[in-house]
Structure 1
Amino acid sequence: MVLTTKDCDYLVIGGGSGGLASARRASKLYGAKTIIVEAKRLGGTCVNVGCVPKKVTWHAASIRETLKDAKNYGFSLEETKSFDWQSFVAKRSALVKRLNTIHEEHLKEDEVEYLHGVASFKDSQTVEVTLEGSLTRVLVKAKHILIAVGGRPSIPGDVEGSELGITSDGFFELERQPRKVAIVGAGYIAVELAGMFNALGTETHMFIRHDRFLRTFDPMIQEQLMAEYQRHGIVVHKQSSQAKVEDIGSGWKRLHYKDQDGEAADDFDCILWAIGRTTELGRLSLDVTNVKLDGKSRIKTDKYQNTNIEHIKAIGDGCDRGFELTPVAIAAGRRLADRLFGGDAQIDAHLEYDSIPSVVFSHPEIGSIGLTEPAARKQYGDSNIKVYNTKFNSLYYSVFDDREDAVPCSYKLICAGQDQKVVGLHIIGPGSSEMLQGFGVAIKMGATKADFDRCVAIHPTNAEELVTLK
């Protein structure tokens, strides 16, 4: 074994998007001597098995839906074969590989040293890195240490044979398209993957513990998405639990479960667990640092991403801020680098965790920012809340032969106080993801209903409905 030592200003443990953003900013803008450690591939969940490959798959599913719609606009299309899953997966994998290379090149350009290996604390100020594919171990001491290791999908520990299923990571490793899939979970990953599978022609079943998806979203969103998924043929098993999975041969598995209709069993060629994520903190030997964790084994932080140990910081899924979103980790990492190395002008730099826009790439898309209606009523009181709703069909569907094929849009604006400050905006329907970014800026700036009303509508668009609400 070869042992070397290094010193630096900033050690970032975790090469996901948040860690990369913080490391590059510290080195490029402020000249901090920076080292980043990553055990897997650069880019973390987002680039490799998350946002990027997921959105590309969502595009494929959306194109399939558009092909079905084309006849309503006078096109006569005949598919000569079904969706070429293998060809698409090869292109998607090539994209991910290219992005990994780009991230590594950016680190070199910004003079960030990259250690490809596994990190663990020896004490609160020293980290040992076991380099991948070698006998070399590196001891690193740093003035500031950022923990940005993210998380991994969970597998149920109380279901016999659960190892026969896959997680969202395994979704991107599927070499062929499943004919019949069981997705267990009701969060945004379950909802997104179910929509993609269904649109691409896989018989899709969802198993959820309660009666609705996306329990942290506004009730309007929950109700309409449930209606749309069932209308488009997704089989939803409500109030369900799983008892056992068994291998029945030829790639098929039998899932034994209980739902609102009682106990049953069904056969699937793919079972996918989408029941939440577990942090990657376990391998870091955090106990030697005395860093405090919360009740969910996440690192406790303040608004500046500080832990209880002065020189150790944390961002992303591994900390207790409550937003497991890649852009949140990126923004928090950049603000942290500004505060640590930007001098007096940046001494108060930190991410504000209120009014963070989020999108679910379901079918149809969902956009949400701010408080749900129940949360707003609880915070401000019923008498101080004014809610504006609209439900309509986009002009896109106006020439459809069968109006039943139209995907309705539902929008909700939640306003508080005498000035009717917009404290929540929730939209579901085509185009919601792109639409939300601009409205997110307005709401972050404190826009009121009067500000929305003063904005001239862009006609004909779906978005104009939000500035013409009555």
Structure 2
Amino acid sequence: METKFDIVVIGSGPGGYASAIRCSQLGYKTALVEKYKALGGTCTNVGCIPTKALLDSTEHYHTAETKFATHGILTGKLSLDFKQLIKRKGEVVEQNIAGLNFLMKKNKIEVFEGIGSFLNNSELNVKHNDGNSTKITSTYFIIATGSKPATIPGVEIDKQRIITSTEALSLPEKPKSIVIIGGGVIGVEMASIYARIGVEITIIEYFDSLIPTMDKDLGKELKKIFTKQNIKILLSHKVQSAKNNGKNATVSFLDASNNPQEITADYCLVAVGRKPYTEGLGLENTNIEVDTKGRIVTNEKLQTKAENIYAIGDVVAGAMLAHKAEEEGIFVAETINGQKPHINYKLIPGVVYTWPEVASVGYTEEELKEKGIEYRVGKFPFSASARARAAMEKDGFSKILSDPKYGELLGMHVIGPRAADLIAQGVIGMEYEVTDEDMFRISYAHPTYSETLKEAYMIASGQGAINI
């Protein structure tokens, strides 16, 4: 087995595999090191892909339960095969892993299974699961080892009753109740999955809004929608501890008035974010530095303090998003190649795959206020959309923020059906500095969800909306 390479990528998540493929395309002899048997990292195995598979499955069930009769579709008594739900999720994951294996072979990328640990700036020891080791040398290295679930003081994850999203994706049977610590992206997506199939859900969030890093209007609207779905939401509450009782778990917390409270549920799901994963990498044997949050320090080229070693994705600063990691992986490959690629981090969209979906790109209204930047707001509800009414999807809105002088787009925030797809238009508009007037002057098919964007652009530009 060859052990000398031009570029070695450590970690096979979206950032790692995208980077390895691009390196190979550019003519570099490339290797990929992955500690697990399956390629794909967190996103493919226990994150983005399985979560979306379950979100889609449970949305089908919820639609059948709550909307089919209105459409004139009578199913009789509805039932749920929870084991099949989980099995189907696993099949989707396996299909994606098979695709990645094919891409590695197609691009002639050597894959090493094992834990990669730096011996120095140019050598990596890979310890295999059978106990043997392989020493690899390379001109360049790209660290893409991702992240793992974080927790808070007083809450110890035992993977039995106090769990993370990883365990929540493969529960042995449908629970009766779950208390979720954290109302961010992971927390609300997991809440959606289980609430749709009749599980009693309580979200405990420290901040005063759900999805607190996104535009506040989105969090307010999502809270309204979740409340209609019988999800209990406790905002401005501080969790103190969680205890495994054997058959259930008890979470103790302080309410908004600082009064001690507790709640018991079948499971306590900890969804308070993720932290960089660099354990066992042997960074101490290199010139690489980490910051106080455990993130690898890089420059604008994503180059570490060791000039031949780069780092991307969740192990560096910035949003922990699969598509951000992919962009960075390709960026680094092309940078090593002498090209001058570009990433505008403000234009990397964020998406929450609840239903309705939530998507955001650019500045939030709160950020513009904080920076003292003048702006106009165009906001149009899906309840006024003919397409949304026909589909019984009237919750949510499209919101546009634009510059009052030139009409330049500053931000787009959507909560509604297919928001994850609609947000791409905002990314394009902002990347190429298109104005709000330019965006409403183009033709939109009728009836479509995208017309809510057209109306929001019109309102932001100062022209009244045309009700659709």
Establish whether TM, by shorter chain, passes 0.5: yes
TM (norm. structure 2) is 0.91
Q: CA deviation at 1:210?
A: 2.1
> 2:267 pairs with 256, 266, 270, which one?
270
- Structure 1 residues 451 and 87, CA, compared in 2 at 3 Å: closer, same or farther? same
Residue matched to 1:34: 30
Structure 2 residue identity aligned to 1:56: A
Residue matched to 2:464: none
Classify the secondary structure of the residue corresponding to 1:216: coil
Q: Does structure 1 retain, via aligned residues, the 8 Å contact 2:382–2:388?
A: no
Q: CA deviation at 1:13?
A: 0.7
Structure 2 residue identity aligned to 1:390: F
1:113 aligns with 2:110: yes
Classify the secondary structure of the residue corresponding to 1:296: coil
Range with bigger deviation, 349-358 or 31-40: 349-358
1:9 aligns with 2:6: yes
> 1:395 pairs with 373, 386, 392, which one?
386
Classify the secondary structure of the residue corresponding to 1:183: strand
Q: Distance in 2 between matches of 1:246 and 1:450?
A: 56
Residue matched to 1:178: 175
Q: Distance in 2 between matches of 1:120 and 1:157?
A: 30
> 1:409 pairs with 396, 399, 402, which one?
396
Q: Distance in 2 between matches of 1:12 and 1:242?
A: 39
Equivalence map 1:406-445=2 (5 Å): 407-445=394-432
Residue matched to 1:338: 334
Q: Distance in 1 between matches of 2:350 and 2:262?
A: 36
Q: Distance in 1 between matches of 2:26 and 2:291?
A: 33
1:76 aligns with 2:77: no
- Which whole-Å deviations, capped at 9, do the CAs of 1:177-222 have from their partners, x for residues lacking one? 1110111002100011111211121111101112211111111101
Residue matched to 1:453: 440
Classify the secondary structure of the residue corresponding to 1:257: strand
1:200 aligns with 2:191: no
Classify the secondary structure of the residue corresponding to 1:220: helix
Classify the secondary structure of the residue corresponding to 2:221: helix
Q: Distance in 2 between matches of 1:161 and 1:429?
A: 34
- Structure 1 residues 72 and 448, CA, compared in 2 at 3 Å: closer, same or farther? same
1:360 aligns with 2:345: no
How many residues align structurally? Answer: 452
Residue matched to 2:466: none
Q: Distance in 2 between matches of 1:216 and 1:366?
A: 12
- Structure 1 residues 446 and 79, CA, compared in 2 at 3 Å: closer, same or farther? farther
Gapped runs of 5+ residues in structure 2?
Answer: 460-468
Q: Distance in 1 between matches of 2:429 and 2:411?
A: 12
Q: Does structure 2 retain, via aligned residues, the 8 Å contact 1:149–1:317?
A: yes
CA RMSD of aligned residues (A): 2.1
Classify the secondary structure of the residue corresponding to 2:249: strand
Structure 1 residue identity aligned to 2:361: I
Residue matched to 2:132: 136
Structure 1 residue identity aligned to 2:76: E
- Structure 1 residues 62 and 158, CA, compared in 2 at 3 Å: closer, same or farther? same
- Which whole-Å deviations, capped at 9, do the CAs of 1:43-66 have from their partners, x for residues lacking one? 001110111111111111221232
Residue matched to 2:365: 373
> 1:255 pairs with 251, 270, 280, which one?
251
Q: Does structure 1 retain, via aligned residues, the 8 Å contact 2:14–2:325?
A: yes
Q: Distance in 1 between matches of 2:78 and 2:295?
A: 51
- Structure 1 residues 95 and 363, CA, compared in 2 at 3 Å: closer, same or farther? closer
Residue matched to 1:241: 238
Classify the secondary structure of the residue corresponding to 1:457: coil
- Structure 1 residues 10 and 203, CA, compared in 2 at 3 Å: closer, same or farther? same
Q: Does structure 1 retain, via aligned residues, the 8 Å contact 2:387–2:449?
A: no
1:124 aligns with 2:121: yes
Gapped runs of 5+ residues in structure 1?
Answer: none
Give the share of equivalent positions with the same residue, in percent: 27
Q: Distance in 2 between matches of 1:14 and 1:337?
A: 15
- Structure 1 residues 424 and 116, CA, compared in 2 at 3 Å: closer, same or farther? same
1:285 aligns with 2:286: no
Q: Distance in 2 between matches of 1:248 and 1:308?
A: 47
Residue matched to 1:23: 20
Q: CA deviation at 1:406?
A: 6.2
Structure 2 residue identity aligned to 1:434: D
Q: Distance in 2 between matches of 1:70 and 1:385?
A: 42
Classify the secondary structure of the residue corresponding to 1:303: coil
Q: Does structure 1 retain, via aligned residues, the 8 Å contact 2:409–2:429?
A: no
Q: CA deviation at 1:290?
A: 2.1
Q: Distance in 1 between matches of 2:50 and 2:335?
A: 32
